[in-house]
Amino acid sequence: MNLITRGFHGRRGGDPARIPPGQYEAHDFPVLSVGPTPRVDTDDWAFTVTTETGTAHSWTWDEFLGLAQERPHVDIHCVTRWSKLDTDWVGVSVDTLLADVESTADYAVAHSYGGYTTNLPLEDLTDGQAWIVHTFDGEPLAAEHGGPARLLVPHLYFWKSAKWVKGLTLTPGDEPGFWEQAGYHDYGDPWREQRYRGD
Amino acid sequence: MPSWTTATLEADRWETPTARTLVLSVPGWAGHRPGQHVDVQLRAEDGYTAERSYSIASASGPDRLELTVQLAPGGEVSPYLVQEFRPGDRVRVRGPLGGWFVWRTADPDPVVLVGGGSGVVPLASMVRERRRTGGRALFRILYSLRSPDDRYYAGDLGAASDPGVDVFLAYTRSAPPGSVRGAKRLSVADLNTHGFPAEFTPLCYVCGPTGFVETVADGLIALGHDPRRIRTERYGSGGGR
Ligand SMILES: Cc1cc2nc3c(=O)[nH]c(=O)nc-3n(C[C@H](O)[C@H](O)[C@H](O)COP(=O)(O)OP(=O)(O)OC[C@H]3O[C@@H](n4cnc5c(N)ncnc54)[C@H](O)[C@@H]3O)c2cc1C
């Protein structure tokens, strides 16, 4: 269906190789959350990887900062239609966190302070595709953007990059998270416009 | 998930000099839950499209819905919808979308609604749906707006038509002559005075520009409200509060 909106010309200029369909380039940093922003003190913070057998690996804030740090420079795409190009982060690769973890799981659920969850295939979190980040544009990550630390999975819509993340649970099967149960797509590929369930 | 469907502008109402309510005819539309939004898609002659989300302002009903769009100067979509879109013109919409920022008409709990600028739109849908269904849940609305000229739904959103619904107007830039409170940002004291106490465990809905939502949600938590009872919708960095 090719309905034309009379009198609409639009603002072009986005690079179609970098701005996925239906997205526009934002220069600020919008916020999407469904509730208040949790405030988590780094003294109380811990990150835990739990395997399908229940084995847990945990890091305190200082231990986490002592791991190898990487500096992803990536484009991010939010389901509410903004994309932000050339963002700079500092954090720990999920590969580093999983290095000593024994697991045959195919999926992961990211858990956050405040109770939110999101699910991802484990293969989308490994091989240099995902990080737990604590710094954005040279500054400690602000609470409304998920600080002290959030997951960063730039090749999926940004709700998959769980804010206020506190752990990953590895699971044999796919278990829909909070957003996915609320009607968002299970996988969330911005280049295929997988915004809502059924897209 | 709902697919795209054609919406035709049937009528319009100016809420303020920069905000227009669009009455859209959408054949086959099956209604919505108050608080939900639609995605609106505009298409240029060469196939270029732009999409934005807009909350539904009307009560639930078949075949038509109302949106209220605030002009964001220099924006891509809202200037078109506010200034250019004429009766008979068509856009595409899909929805209703959003499964969390919704009020269930059967829920008897008291409700605190806090809107900043155009963030009052989905709150209006909740009040209108309450009216349509004869709901009794007690509502307290705190509506933050720049000045009396920026008020949406004057005469429709208020105690006169809705017993049990209180509306408090918090002017941020200029208040009507004689106002005791004057003009200032919505404060924790305002939330305390004009909301429900945390002991009543009300459901709280907060909607508007991101910074506004952050401040209000933090204020509600400071007053002892359970974070799990606070639902938020953030519109972006833009304005109108
Ligand atoms: C769930 C949801 C519901 C919403 N409901 C409503 C509603 O009921 N009513 C309503 O009015 N809005 C609502 N919004 C906001 C709406 O979706 C749009 O964000 C808003 O209308 C602005 O869109 P725009 O295309 O006009 O502006 P955009 O083009 O997106 O720009 C937004 C602002 O940024 C500025 N800007 C954009 N690009 C640039 C640039 N390159 N350089 C400098 N400045 C720039 C513009 O000047 C403008 O002020 C809602 C948003 C969400 C997420």
Domain with residues A10-192, CATH architecture: Alpha-Beta Complex (3.90)
Tokens of B40: 């609106």
Tell me the pLDDT of chain A averaged across its residues.
Answer: 92
The fold adopted by the segment(s) B5-97 is Elongation Factor Tu (Ef-tu); domain 3 (2.40.30)
CA–CA separation, A64 and A44 (whole Å): 13
Inter-chain CB proximity B232 and A35 less than 8 Å:
yes
Tens digit of pLDDT for each residue in A69-121? Answer: 999 999 999 988 889 999 999 999 999 999 999 999 999 999 999 888 999 99
Tokens of B76: 């891509």
Average pLDDT rounded to a whole number, residues B46-61: 94
Q: Whose CA is nearest to atom 53 of ligand 1?
A: B235
The whole-model pTM stands at 0.80
Where are the alpha helices (H) located in chain A, listed in sequence order? 61-65, 94-98, 178-181
Interface test with A, best of B6, B38, B76, B216 (most A CBs within 10 A): B76
Query: Do residues A161 and A150 touch, judged by C-beta distance below 8 A?
Result: yes
Where exactly are the structural domains of chain B?
5-97, 111-234
Listed residue (B96, B204, B237, B232) closest to A35, CA to CA:
B232
Distance CA A153, CA A166 (A): 15
Poorest-pLDDT segment among A153-162, B1-10, B119-128: B1-10
Which distant-in-sequence residues (6+ apart) come within 8 Å of A142 by Cβ? A136
Confidence of residue B157 (pLDDT cuts 50, 70, 90): confident
Task: Tell me how far the alpha carbon of residue A87 is from its chain's centroid.
Answer: 13
Residue B7 has pLDDT above 80, yes or no: yes
Interchain contact, B1 vs A114, CB within 8 Å: no
Q: List, for residues A107-156, the tens digit of each pLDDT value.
A: 999 999 988 899 999 999 999 999 999 999 999 999 989 999 999 999 99
Which residues of chain B does A6 touch, with a Cβ-Cβ cutoff of 8 Å?
86, 89-90
The string of pLDDT tens digits covering residues B204-237 is: 999 999 899 999 999 999 999 999 999 999 998 6
- Ligand 1 centroid, distance to B78 Cα (angstroms): 7
CB distance A115–B210 less than 8 Å? no
Q: With respect to CATH, is domain B111-234 assigned 2.40.30.10?
A: no
